Amino acid sequence: MSEKEIDVKEPKLRKPDWLRVKLPVGKEYLHVRKLVDTHKLHTICESGNCPNMGECWGAGTATFMILGNICTRSCGFCAVATGRPLAADVNEPERVAESVKLMNVKHCVITSVDRDDLKDGGSTIWAETIKAVRKISPGTTMETLIPDFAGKWENLQRIIDVHPDIVSHNLETVRRLTKQVRIQAKYDRSLEVIRRLHEAGLKTKSGIMLGLGETEAELYQAMDDLRKAGCDVLTLGQYLQPTPKHLPVVEFIHPDLFAKHKLVGLEKGFRFVESGPLVRSSYHAEKHLF
């Protein structure tokens, strides 16, 4: 695999057969689909056109994005709009909680855009959303996929204080590619997020995208770095270019290699490793509680 930097002018690779997505089916999926359409509920599963939506909805898992749909960062891999977000909605926690109850979600995953424009980084809405889901739907377990809050640790503490069942923060890529892939983020700061969560006694999770030009040695070093920080669960998936303006795919990783990476991750001490071309952060999230 090449050591070179990512070149946005590289020709687009043809998707291999193993990246074909099956259409979602099943009674549970259709039931949730009808609820979402009837009540105009918003899930990142749907808006992000996640390839695992049918499987997750069928298992009673759904992912909600809070704090709007405009991000203050401009990561090279992400299709979420960048710009000046609207003001935070103080009524959002209750709306999300009502959606969770209405959809009868067994395991709820909550994520958000980065809100570097807010003094609290959106952490107050985060904490209130977690508390609202617990109040309105007490039988629902919860995973939070959080930002790094720009390293303002008093904001991270608000998440720690409400103690979600599991807390995820994605490393996204290896150290060498971080500046290109996650322009305003820092590799070591993300590791520090995981470390602080672990030291506070929370169950921790992170994800890495493959196919951006990382070497195997770099990937395994990133795994070691996450384990040293106290990460319990790891997801590995294929990066897919959302638009021509985003970073190109350097390589499509074969499923056999994903299987190898899973075994390596388990040997390194991760409790769970989800590894495959179509794996995303919340894939099999309901199975990662321990």
pLDDT, tens only, 105-139 = 888 889 999 999 999 999 999 999 999 999 999 99
Judge whether residue 199 has pLDDT over 90: yes
Question: Rounded mean pLDDT of 252-277?
Answer: 97
Task: Give the Cα separation of 240 and 14 in Å (integer).
Answer: 11
In the chain the first and final C-alpha atoms are separated, in Å, by 36
User: What's the whole-model pTM score?
Assistant: 0.88
Superfamily of domain 20-287: Aldolase class I (3.20.20.70)
* Measured distance CA(181)–CA(290) in Å, rounded: 31
26 compared with 79, residue with greater pLDDT: 79
**pLDDT mean over 34-55:** 63
Give the closest residue to 105 by CA, choosing from 199, 32, 15, 1. Answer: 32
Q: Work out the pLDDT band at 14, boundaries 50, 70, 90.
A: confident
User: What SS3 string covers 162-178?
Assistant: HCCCEEECCCECCHHHH
Of 274, 280, 271, 267, residue with least CA distance to 240? 280
The domains of the chain are located at 20-287
- The CA-based dihedral angle spanning residues 44, 45, 49, 51, taken in that order and rounded to the nearest 10 degrees: 150
CB-based contacts of 39: which residues, under 8 Å, 6+ apart?
A: 99, 102
